[in-house]
């Protein structure tokens, strides 16, 4: 696949226009609501997907301790009993009620620092049949990828950003999306942007990275 500016711009277009943001600090995950057997492969999958950025997960955030928080439940109402969870976003109870009414099985909420970069991401997951059928590694890859950048409303409407390797069943980020993520985390790229010209720069850099990937393979 060739990476062009129109496609990249679509990835970061919201209803109110172009909006891009990435993490401006090391990512520190913490997971609640899974058993001891599930936790290690989940964290491995998170770490491998964070590696697409060219970075690694960290042990602690100096301000928050952990800044990439995962909460698993069987029913959305369970989350209301978790102490202090409502402090992560003021409309927590209304959000949970909405998720329950719509039958959603996942939700992400971001918070941003003064530079516009991602400071915090909270992932809420209700383990319905659809999510339960996914492997832990696939779930970790998919959810982490969606949290690495603030993607547009229709970013994945037509094409999934992940794929399963038939030979071993491992989930990977598709090369074109991996190139975009890696380009977005280049030191010379901003942590946030609301000008579509950013998409031009991002597309050019991602295109070069994708060509390099293809040359190596």
Q: pTM for the full model?
A: 0.95
Residue 96 and residue 181 in one domain: no
> Final residue of a domain: which of 148, 179, 195?
148
The tally of domains found in the chain comes to 2
Kindly tell me if the per-residue pLDDT of 36 is higher than 90. yes
Written in H, E and C, the secondary structure of the chain is CCCCHHHHHHHCEECCEECEEEECCCCCEEEECCCCCCHHHHHHHHHHHHHHHCCCCCCCECCCECCEEEEEECCHHHHHHCCCHHHHCCCHHHHHHHHHHHCCCEEEEEEECCCCCEEEEEEEEECCHHHHCCCHHHHHHHHHHHHHECCCCCCCCCCCCEEECCCCCCEEECHHHHHHHHHHCCCCCCCEECCCHHHHHHHHHHHHHHHHHHHHC
pLDDT digits (tens, 9 = 90+) for 49-92: 999 999 999 999 998 899 999 999 999 999 998 888 888 888 99
- The chain-wide mean pLDDT, for the chain, equals 94
- Which pLDDT value is given to residue 85? 86
Among the listed residues 120, 92, 107, 154, the one whose alpha carbon sits nearest the alpha carbon of residue 23: 120
Residue 46 · residue 213 · CB < 8 Å:
no
Residue 50 · residue 140 · CB < 8 Å:
no
Residue 56 belongs to what domain range?
Answer: 23-148
Residue 17 — very low, low, confident or very high, per pLDDT cuts 50/70/90? very high
Residue 36 and residue 119 in one domain: yes
Kindly tell me if the per-residue pLDDT of 2 is higher than 80. no
Residue 9 · residue 199 · CB < 8 Å:
yes
Cα separation, 204 vs 195, whole angstroms: 16
Residue 108 and residue 207 in one domain: no
Residue 11 and residue 45 in one domain: no
Residue 179 and residue 214 in one domain: yes
Backbone φ, ψ for residue 163 (5° rounding)? -145, 155
């Amino acid at each position: 696949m060739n990476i062009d500016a129109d496609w990249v711009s679509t990835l970061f277009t919201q209803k109110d226009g172009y909006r891009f943001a990435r993490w401006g600090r090391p990512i520190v995950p913490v997971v609640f609501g899974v058993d001891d057997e599930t936790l290690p492969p989940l964290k491995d999958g998170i770490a491998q997907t964070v590696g697409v950025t060219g970075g690694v997960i960290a042990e602690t955030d100096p301000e928050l301790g952990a800044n990439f928080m995962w909460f698993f439940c069987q029913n959305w109402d369970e989350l209301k009993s978790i102490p202090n969870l409502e402090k992560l976003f003021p409309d927590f109870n209304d959000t949970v009620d909405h998720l329950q009414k719509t039958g959603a099985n996942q939700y992400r909420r971001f918070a941003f620092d003064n530079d516009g970069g991602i400071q915090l991401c909270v992932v809420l997951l209700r383990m319905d049949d659809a999510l339960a059928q996914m492997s832990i590694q696939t779930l970790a890859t998919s959810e982490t990828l969606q949290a690495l950048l603030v993607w547009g409303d229709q970013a994945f409407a037509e094409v999934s950003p992940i794929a399963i390797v038939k030979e071993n069943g491992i989930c990977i980020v598709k090369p074109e999306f991996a190139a975009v993520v890696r380009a977005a985390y280049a030191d010379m790229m901003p942590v946030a942007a609301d000008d579509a010209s950013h998409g031009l720069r991002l597309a050019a850099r991602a295109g070069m990275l994708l060509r390099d990937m293809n040359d190596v393979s």
